[in-house]
Amino acid sequence: MNNRTKALSAGVLLLACRAALGTTLFVATNGNDAHPGTQEKPFATLERARNEIRRLKSDGGLRVGGITVEIRGGNYELARPIELADQDSGTDNAPILYRARPGEVVRIVGGRTVTGWQPVTTETILKRLDPAAQGKVFQADLKALGINDLQGIGNAGVYQSDPGLELFFQDQPMTLARYPNTGYLHIADVLDANGIVKSGQAKTPDGRFVCDDPRPARWVGEKDIWLHGFWVWDWADQRIPLGTVTPSNHSLSLPAQPGRSYEIRKGQWFYAENALPELDSPGEWYLDRDTSILYFWPPSALSSGQTVVSIVRDTFQLNNVSHITFRGLLIEAGRGSAMIIKGGSYVRVVGCTIRNMGNWGVKIYGGTKHGVVGGDIYQTGQGGIHLEGGDRKTLTPAGHYADNNHVLSLDKMPFVADSGLNDEGSGFTQ
């Protein structure tokens, strides 16, 4: 047992002793926010528990031992992020603990369950689908479910792709319809501004090039297709919207924008995604943002699991918060990151499982002595844990730490520079 593990074990015992002196609030899926938050009459939401803590603090301050918010097992679908500010902080002698009830699974879900699935029968849609998908694709109306934020792929910059809305089935991320299903297309030739073949590399306003596959001819007239490519270097990827397709010479272009040009090199590689004609295998999906219709080829019967789309961005947002611990929660199916911690001190994320997030598991910016301990983070879009703080010039340590975490499967949104653990600044323990 190393020194940090010993210290954490001692901290757990200390918290247990303090909890015996403190206050406990209860939250349950069958609770009611009009209730007093007792074990017999629990609250329904974490926001209500947060607000009760604010009331207790304003009435007379926190008792020694602090406050424990015990959350009963079940699914808690959020309509918006859970925001905590300085007023929600604990103190050294009166910390705040949000914990899952021992032995129960508490799922904090940043998405919405999709229902109302129907087989695709519209003739114009069936004609756009690949023959292999006929009779196997289902559709659901997100607008009818009250889901109006249909953000798609964003941040068209090197290393900065953001998936926006994603689809999960049976707790697994599904694949945005793409071609090819595995591997890449290649750039056979690069064209200059006049459409003349260049010998190796060109920089033009519309990034026109010749593809080595005639398949893009199927994409003529399609909207919102994106190309994910390594346009010049094998270590620098970028997602860019498709501009035009010219079937006669198998050429594609990127969208012309004022003041922008595209540099492309012959022989480089890319694939297309978010294309309805390429929804041709189980597990693929496509969202028509003009109609709010979601199309999905489930890998097994829809009745065999929940179908969820991510909605809430940055599930927990903490600003200048101190002396708060989150223990044993499962945070999933959100856009952005599960935890964003800015400023403050002594925030701990302990024994939590974080999965199916668009960006990162936990991101810490500034503050001091925040920690992520004993967690499982997987199936994220960009990375696991990001620690940032301290001062490199003065060597002032941040004191942040990440200890005994399992971080894996960070390729849900395949791109370069995914990292399990990233730190920027000074004074971290890993």
Instruction: Write out pLDDT tens, residues 372-390.
Output: 999 999 999 889 999 999 8
- Looking up tokens 């209500």, which residue turns up? 48
Give me the mean pLDDT over the 347-374 stretch.
97
Of 16-30, 78-92, 222-236, 287-301, minimum mean pLDDT range:
16-30
pTM of the model: 0.91
Q: Mean pLDDT throughout 356-364?
A: 95
The secondary element (H helix, E strand) that includes residue 111 is strand 111-113
CA distance 3 to 337: 30
Which residues make Cβ contacts (< 8 Å) with residue 70, sequence separation at least 6? 24, 25, 26, 27, 99, 101
Predicted pLDDT at 153: 83
How many CB atoms sit inside 10 A of residue 20's CB?
A: 9
Which tens digit of pLDDT belongs to each residue from 111-123? Answer: 999 999 999 999 9
Give the 3-state secondary structure of 351-408.
CCEEEEECCEEEEEECCECCEEECCEEEEECCEEEEEEECECCCCECCCEEEECCEEE
pLDDT in the model for residue 7: 47
CA distances from 261 to 203, 256, 264, 416 (A): 6, 8, 10, 22
pLDDT the model gives residue 419: 77
Write down the mean pLDDT value for the chain: 91
Q: Which residues contact residue 208 at a Cβ distance below 8 angstroms, ignoring those fewer than 6 apart?
A: 190, 191, 195, 251, 252, 253, 254
Q: How confident is the model at residue 241 (pLDDT cuts 50, 70, 90)?
A: very high
Provide, rounded to the nearest whole percent, the portion of the chain with pLDDT above 70. Answer: 91
* Phi, psi dihedrals of residue 313, rounded to the nearest 5°: -100, 130
Q: How confident is the model at residue 395 (pLDDT cuts 50, 70, 90)?
A: confident
pLDDT of amino acid 61: 84
Q: Are the CB atoms for 116 and 141 separated by under 8 Å?
A: yes
Reported as a single tens digit per residue, the pLDDT across 12-65 is 555 455 445 689 999 999 999 999 999 999 999 999 999 999 999 999 889 999
Q: What is the mean pLDDT of residues 142-163?
A: 82
Q: Provide the pLDDT for residue 18.
A: 47
- Residue 349: name the closest of 367, 373, 369 by CA: 373
Cα–Cα distance, 402 to 134 (Å, whole number):
48
Q: Which residue from 337, 339, 307 is spatially nearest to 112, judged by alpha carbons?
A: 307
Higher pLDDT, 345 or 428: 345
Cis peptide before 180 (omega within 30 of 0): yes
Q: Which residue has the higher pLDDT, 426 or 82?
A: 82
> What whole-number distance in Å separates Cα of residue 362 and Cα of residue 49?
22
- Residue 156 is predicted with a pLDDT of 59
What is the per-residue pLDDT across 245-257, written as a single tens digit (0 to 9) for each? 999 999 999 998 8
Identify the band that residue 3 occupies on the pLDDT scale cut at 50, 70 and 90.
Answer: low
Considering only residues 193 and 354, tell me which one the structure prediction assigns the higher pLDDT.
354
Go through 40-63 and write b for each residue having 16 or more CB atoms within 10 A of its CB, e for each that does not.
eebbbbbbbbbebbeeebeeeebe
Which of 385, 377, 393, 388 is CA-nearest to residue 428? 388
Predicted local distance difference test score (pLDDT) of residue 392: 85
Q: How far apart (Å, rounded) are the C-alpha atoms in residues 91 and 96?
A: 8
Q: Select from 335, 411, 403, 399 the least CA-distant residue to 367.
A: 399
pLDDT digits (tens, 9 = 90+) for 91-108: 999 999 999 999 999 999
Percentage of the chain with pLDDT > 90? 79
In this predicted structure, the answer to whether residue 158 has a pLDDT above a threshold of 60 is no
Alpha carbon distance 237, 243 (integer Å): 18
